[in-house]
Chains A and B, each alone.
Chain A
Amino acid sequence: MTQLNSVLLFICLLFFFAACKNNTAPADIAFYHWKANINIGTEEMKYLDDLAVKKLYLRFFDVHLDQESKTAIPISQLQWKYFDLGRNLEIVPVIYITNITLEKNEYDVGTDSLAKNIAEKLRAMILKMDRVRFTVKEIQIDCDWSLETQAKYFRLLEQLRRYMPEIKTLSATIRLHQIKYFTTTGVPPVDRGVLMFYNMGAVIKPTEKNSILNLQTAKEYLENFDIYPLSLDVALPLFSWAVQFREDKIIQLINDISEADLIKNENFQSLGANKFKVLNSSYLKGIYIYKNDIIRLESVKSEDLTESINILKKAFGKKRFNLIFYHLDDYVVKCFNTETLKKLANY
């Protein structure tokens, strides 16, 4: 009996440690790919392998309102050339829908036909890409819905599920305010949510320091995570952009700009604190900017990401969340080594 007890004790301890291990297993890491032209080279593939990435959230197209016909149309469709993903990577098609599209759509007829169109186009696109080895089990919808469009958006999601019964998981992006005020903003009828933990600053304000990751603002919204009805993953930013101002008014965002593009460029003068003045009208990454414009460079540092994780850990409490980084490109591969990201996942 003593021997039996010892065996039983051993087995219990084994289970106990296994459970403990599961509780502290690193979070899964995934990536968004948002560009219209898919370009994942060997460096990016190595990067994904090192991070044991199993999922790639691939933006397939946006849905916007055509100004002339006043109908919803797909734009910026993913331009797909054959590429070999090298291994079985789960692709999650993502469709971004602008809020104004929903506003102008009729609740029932409009929303239903939009859902059908999205489903059919997605299915046709996936079929075309079939030569590459990947599976589609999940689709994701990205839409920053408002109170006015809530009913239509939720209906769209329900209808999409109906038109795509083959999809096992339907997920949606969620913003911070939609968790804090979820009793008002509603909870989308999906299986999972992805919290967009970025762009919470006031990008249009000239005095904003960094709108990509303004943790001060983020802290004001960290309520109700414990009771939010959906399971959530978290999307963190790895991108940078330049915010262009003219006479203190925001002109546009310029993607993929780094300090290196500006610091030794004779057309720019550093004003300190991530701001630059344009000395000569010229092209910057294909965009013509004008003399006396002000460029505010915004990027994300590892320390900010670490602090983000700490903040989120507190908010989520015992709940675990996986990480999805926005977004995969050569800038990210250069600026964020895999060890940094692994540390974040090991929270």
Chain B
Amino acid sequence: MKFTPSETKIIMNKIILFTAATLLSANISYTCWFDDSEAHYPFFNKESLSDPTMLLFTDYSAGLGLGYSENASEPADGNIKDWLNHLEGAVSDNDLVDLIYKLEREELAKILKDDKLLSSLAANNTVYKLWTTDPKKKKSMGNYLLFAKKCEVEAVKGREYWEEEGNDRNISSLKKMMEEGLTIAKKEKVEFYKQRYAFQAIRAAFYMNDNNTVLKLFNEHFPKGSKENYIYFRALEFKAGAHKRKGDAEAPYLYAKVFQNCPDRRNVCLNSFSFTSEEDWDKSISLCKNNEEKAVYYALRALQPNSNLIEELENIANIAPSSPLLEMLTARQIGKMQEMAFPRYADAAGRFPLNDIENSNELKRLKLLMKTMSENKTIKNNGFWLLAAGYSELMSRNTEDAIKIFSSIPAVSEYKKQANVMTFVAKICAVKQIDVAIADNLWNEHRSSPLLKENVDLTEFMQDAFSMFYIKQGDKARAYLTYHGLYAMRGRLDIGLLDALDFYFNSKINKGEYDRFLIEERCGSLPDAMNELAELRGVYYLQRNNLDKAIAEFEKTDINYRKQSTNFNSKYLDKSIWYESVIHPYFEFELEDQSVNFLFKKYDFLYQDYNLLSYTKALKMLEEKAKSDPSKTGEYHYLLGLAWYNTGVQGWHRPAIYLSESNEGNYTWWSADDKEEEMKLYKGYDWISDRFYTPDIAAYYFESAIKNTSDKELKAKALYQLAKVEKTRDLSQLSDSWAENLTYSKRFYECFNELKTNLSNTAYYKDVLRECYDFQVYVNQ
């Protein structure tokens, strides 16, 4: 469905961001409307503006309050500042805020009337303390605030969003307030209060929609030559509003004036500043008295959604290169570009800056402009412009020029620290191919400088950049270790990576400082790494029933590791792994309570404590026994089948071979052989959610047991267990506890059929019929 104009704006904002993400293949979050520096590296620190009141606009967008950055500091309340000036610092701003904005009118009236009450409050309040010593001030302040609070009640009236009627402002009340304000203003001698009473009257007229009266009152009470103080601009804003309602060209001019001079009213003015034609624009801008005023026009246009910021920057730089607005807009422009140049979590193998930004026309223009600005020594705050110029070069991949510019910033400059950080970023960006020496140089420089080392973003950036190099260069081991410890691999063992890590740890390849960091940080020490890797490799082979290779790997671990490692000696590697049951237990207490038959009681060679090595050897032993004694093949293969089922997706012992970390485990399992861009796995891949599982191993042993036994009870057991295995083939069905009309493999039904048709006289058949709902349904259909 087509959108209204305002809705189009909102939706287009999102389309733009979606476009950036899809067309530029980068993970960019909603950063055009507010600075989510979580999604990119914010090397250009916007807080370096010389006018901190402009900070809000480095990422604010006009219209519907979108993009208001929760992180940006709001300008100080100009009203409070004005009061503090008037009171010559005799009160604290907190007390003033409480008095003006929080205290109810009735409470204020009580305090003003009751001296005793006032005295008691004065001990903890600087305003009341002042009132006890200066009754004149108490009277004028108190009277004004009583009046203002009365006006405020009417001013803030308005409908809730969903209301169609009600709570509209009362015109006759507003009229009374206006008249009262004007009467008092006439008599009031203190200019500070005189203007404020007039302001309230103007405001009341505005809310009465009496535009002509607004203009008249403004001209009377704030005539030409009036001091352009805070209250003047607050009143001017209402004058602008009245002109806007009348469609006058003065409206944008006045809003621009308020924007320029009243920091806490800027976003209101921005939202009210609009044109629909060239004619309107020309008419309005012709009211500007000088280029500084015109610059505000361009800035306000630049702050509209969909503006071409660089063009407006150029417009301002051409006429008013010293305008303070240029810094804010430059910070805004750079902020926008660095989202593309330095995204976090970029799914790319390459080099920063990303997204082909060096070819952007916008960046080319910015670079040119920043060069001009930084070379103009008449412009204040040269450090800022040098920083911006250097950063533009950096984003353009001219790292040498960038470093040169950063180094030209004087050491005493407040921008030097940022420059030093950016110099380091430039050095990283200058790298085309990484090797041990380059990694070490950068790493050592980073480590030896507190400025660099303590910069969390920079550290992360460096690792991000390194990892992208390693991915591109096919260095799997280092690419992986940049982000992960060995433990993270458990969910998805990959032989290519395991081999790469093996080579990395074991070989005499050149390892530098950065490597030492990786190994220590991720693995503890090299011996620890090698032990853990051997375990992982062993489990990889064990999962695939390649027992000889598994044993060879496990035997590489040292004795202490085998004793101390909780995974090598997992509680799931228990003799209870050899059990048979009709219904599988999910939890330990079920294992104890249910009708589980522990087979180590029957086969005493199974009665032992296990670790990965001894367990694998036990499996091997059973294989060999099955081979050497054909009369027992069925029996031993049945045991093997049980072990594989019990360490499978439905078995309680599955964590023994890394299939789950808990019994409430993740059932999203699929083969590690799925084709993917292999190297991307090592960057940000979620290792936990994809695990290796195949039912074929357990199925093989049960099939063999069925084939190789003449014992009907054993056959019945093997058939039923095989059916259970077959049930695990479609894991998506298993995970959906509400699924109806489940269907299983053909073999599943064959097993049930054979059990029903040929083995119904066995004791096991009766157990199954009693305990298994699926089988009951099958038999009774």
Give residues in A with beta carbon < 8 Å to B. Answer: 34-36, 59, 62, 64, 66-68, 73-76, 96, 98, 117, 120-121, 124-125, 128, 142, 144, 173, 196, 199, 203-204, 237, 239, 244, 246-253, 255, 281-283, 286-288, 290-293, 326-327
Distance in Å: Cβ of B67 to nearest Cβ of chain A: 8
Are B4 and A62 in touch, CB under 8 angstroms?
yes
Q: Check: B362 CB closer than 8 A to any chain A CB.
A: yes
With A144-B1, A283-B281 given, is the CB distance from A253 to B162 under 8 Å? no
Please, how many angstroms separate the alpha-carbon atoms of A75 and B4 in the complex?
A: 10
With A249-B16, A250-B15, A283-B277 as contacts: A125 and B164 at CB distance below 8 Å = yes
**8 residue pairs bridging A and B, Cβ less than 8 Å apart:** A98-B10, A125-B164, A142-B1, A199-B2, A204-B18, A237-B2, A247-B362, A327-B2
Q: Which residue of B lies closest to A122 (CB)?
A: B164
Within residues 299 to 316 of chain B, which ones have a CB less than 8 A from any CB in chain A?
A: 301, 304-308, 311
Chain B residues near A117 (CB, 8 Å)? Answer: 162
Please, which residues of chain B bring their CB within 8 A of the CB of A125? 164
Query: How close is A86's CB to chain B, nearest CB, in angstroms?
Result: 26
Chain A contacts of B161 at CB under 8 A? Answer: 66, 73-74
Tell me the complex Cα distance, A283–B2, Å. 22
Which residue of chain A has the shortest Cβ distance to B308 in the bound complex? A290
Which 9 interchain pairs have the tightest Cβ spacing? A124-B164, A286-B276, A290-B308, A73-B161, A76-B4, A117-B162, A252-B12, A142-B1, A204-B19
In the complex, which residues of chain A have a beta carbon less than 8 angstroms from the beta carbon of B67?
67
- A117 → B minimal CB distance (Å): 4
- The answer to whether A96 and B68 touch (CB under 8 A), given A124-B165, A247-B361, is no
Do residues B68 and A67 form an inter-chain contact, with CB atoms below 8 A?
A: yes
Residue B20 CB within 8 A of the other chain: yes
- Whether B164 lies near A128 (C-beta < 8 A) is yes
**B5 at interface (Cβ–Cβ under 8 A)?**
yes
Q: Which listed residue (A120, A144, A252) contacts B9, Cβ 8 A?
A: A252
For residue A148, give the distance in angstroms from its CB to the closest CB of chain B: 15
**Interface set, chain B 62-78, CB cutoff 8 A to A:** 64-68
Write out the residue numbers on chain A whose beta carbons fall within 8 Å of the beta carbon of B710. none
Give 17 A-B pairs besides A74-B162, A125-B164 with Cβ atoms closer than 8 angstroms: A62-B4, A76-B6, A96-B1, A204-B22, A244-B306, A248-B23, A249-B19, A250-B12, A252-B305, A252-B306, A255-B8, A281-B311, A290-B307, A291-B311, A293-B308, A326-B1, A326-B2
Contact B164 A121 (CB under 8 A): yes
List of B residues within 8 angstroms of A282 by Cβ: 278
Q: How far is the CA of A291 from the CA of B19 in the complex (A)?
A: 21
* Chain A residues positioned under 8 Å from B689 (CB to CB): none
Chain B residues closer than 8 Å to A250, beta-carbon distance:
12, 15-16, 19
B360 at the interface (CB under 8 A from A): yes
Q: CA A283 – CA B361 in complex, angstroms?
A: 22
A340 CA to B322 CA, complexed, in Å:
60
B10 touches A64 (CB 8 A): yes
In the complex, what residue of chain A is closest to B305 when comparing beta carbons?
A: A252
A262–B152 CA distance with the chains assembled, in angstroms = 49
Chain B residues contacting A246 (CB-CB under 8 Å) are 308
State whether A196 touches B1 (Cβ < 8 A). yes
A253 touching B12, Cβ below 8 Å? yes
Q: Say yes or no: A283-B276 contact (C-beta < 8 A), given A249-B23, A250-B12, A251-B306.
A: yes
Task: Tell me the smallest distance from the CB of B22 to a CB of chain A, in Å.
Answer: 8
Partner of A68, one of B7, B16, B65: B65
Q: How far is the CA of A64 from the CA of B7 in the complex (A)?
A: 9
Tell me the count of chain B residues lying within 8 A, CB to CB, of chain A: 44
- Bound form: Cα–Cα A64–B162 in Å: 12
Task: Count chain B CB atoms within 10 A of each CB in A125, A142, A281, A293 and give the residue with the most.
Answer: A281
A251–B12 CB distance below 8 A:
yes
Given A64-B10, A239-B2, A281-B311, do A249 and B20 touch, yes or no (CB 8 Å)? yes
* Pick from B4, B11, B275, B304: contact of A59, CB under 8 Å: B4
Q: How far is the CB of B132 from chain A (nearest CB, A)?
A: 40
Which A-chain residue is minimally distant from B33 (CB atoms)?
Answer: A67
Q: Contacts of A251 on B, CB cut-off 8 Å?
A: 12, 16, 306
Given A67-B64, A120-B162, A252-B306, check contact A62 B7 (CB 8 Å): yes
CA distance A290 to B301 in the complex (A): 12
Q: How far is the CA of A186 from the CA of B20 in the complex (A)?
A: 30
Complex Cα–Cα for A120 and B4 (A): 22
Q: Is A173 a contact of B1 with CB atoms below 8 Å?
A: yes
Query: Is there an interface contact between B20 and A252, defined as CB atoms closer than 8 Å?
Result: no
Chain B residues within an 8 Å CB radius of A249:
16, 19-20, 23
Give the nearest-CB partner of B24 in chain A.
A249
Q: Roughly how many angstroms separate A283 CA and B304 CA in the complex, as a whole number?
A: 14
Closest chain A residue to B281, Cβ basis = A283
Supposing A76-B6, A142-B1, A326-B2 touch, asked if A203 and B15 sit within 8 A by C-beta, the answer is yes
Closest to A94 in B: B1
Q: Nearest Cβ distance between residue B465 and chain A, in whole angstroms?
A: 26
Closest to B1 in A: A142
Residue of B nearest to A62 (CB): B7
- Distance in angstroms between the alpha carbons of A299 and B361 in the assembled complex: 30
Cβ B306 vs Cβ A68 within 8 A: no
- Mark out the residues of chain B between 10 and 68 whose CB falls within 8 Å of any chain A CB in the assembled complex: 10-12, 15-16, 18-20, 22-23, 64-68
B305 partner residues in chain A, CB cutoff 8 A: 252
Docked-complex contact B1 and A290, CB < 8 angstroms: no
Q: How far is the CB of B72 from chain A (nearest CB, A)?
A: 14
Q: Give every chain B residue within 8 A of A248 (Cβ-Cβ).
A: 23
In the assembled complex, the Cα of A195 lies from the Cα of B305 at a distance in Å of: 32
Chain A neighbourhood of B5, CB < 8 A: 255
Kindly identify which residue among B4, B12, B22, B301 contacts A36, using a CB–CB cutoff of 8 Å: B4
| Binary contact readout B419-430 vs A (1 if CB under 8 angstroms, 0 otherwise) | 000000000000
A196 to B164, CA, bound (A): 30
A339 to chain B, nearest CB (A): 25
**Which A residues lie within 8 Å of B23 (CB)?**
204, 248-249
Chain B residue contacts of A252, Cβ below 8 A: 8-9, 12, 305-306
Contacts of A98 in B (CB 8 A): 7, 10-11
Quick one: closest A residue to B162, CB to CB? A117
- Taking the closest CB of chain B, its distance from the CB of A31, in whole angstroms, is 13
Given contacts A67-B68, A68-B65, contact A288 B275 (CB under 8 A): yes
Give B116-170 interface residues, CB cut-off 8 Å to A: 161-165
CB nearest to A77 among chain B residues: B164
Q: Is there contact, CB below 8 Å, between B301 and A288?
A: yes
Please, how many angstroms separate the alpha-carbon atoms of A161 and B307 in the complex? 43
**Cα of A250 to Cα of B7 in the assembled complex, Å:** 16
Q: Which residue of B lies closest to A128 (CB)?
A: B164
Tell me how far the C-beta of A288 lies from the nearest C-beta in chain B, rounded to whole angstroms.
7
Whole-angstrom CA separation of A203 from B308 in the bound complex? 20
Residues of B460-503 at the interface with A, using a CB-CB cut-off of 8 Å, are: none
CB-CB < 8 A to B277: which residues of A? 283, 286
Docked complex Cα distance between A73 and B161 (Å): 6
Do A288 and B304 contact each other (CB < 8 Å), given the known contacts A74-B162, A196-B1? Answer: yes
Bound Cα distance A335, B16 (Å) = 31
- Nearest residue in A to B280 (C-beta to C-beta)? A283
Q: Is the CB of A253 within 8 A of B68?
A: no
Closest residue of chain B to A68 (Cβ to Cβ) is B65
Provide the residues of chain B in CB contact with A326, threshold 8 Å. 1-2
List A contacts of B19 (CB < 8 A).
204, 249-250
Q: Which residue of B lies closest to A288 (CB)?
A: B301
A117–B52 CA distance with the chains assembled, in angstroms: 42
- Residue in chain B with minimal CB distance to A125: B164
Docked CA distance A309–B520 (Å):
69
**Chain B residue with the shortest CB-CB distance to A203:** B15
Tell me which of A36, A73, A204, A283 contacts B278 (CB under 8 A). Answer: A283
Chain A residues lying within 8 Å of B66, measured Cβ to Cβ, are 67
Q: CB distance B4 to A68 under 8 Å?
A: no
A259 to B49, CA, bound (A): 45
Cβ of B64: which chain A residues have Cβ within 8 Å of it? 67, 75
Asked if B6 and A34 sit within 8 Å, CB to CB, the answer is: no
Docked pose: A34 CA to B5 CA in angstroms: 10
With the chains together, A247 CA to B2 CA distance in Å?
A: 25
Q: How far is the CB of B308 from chain A (nearest CB, A)?
A: 4
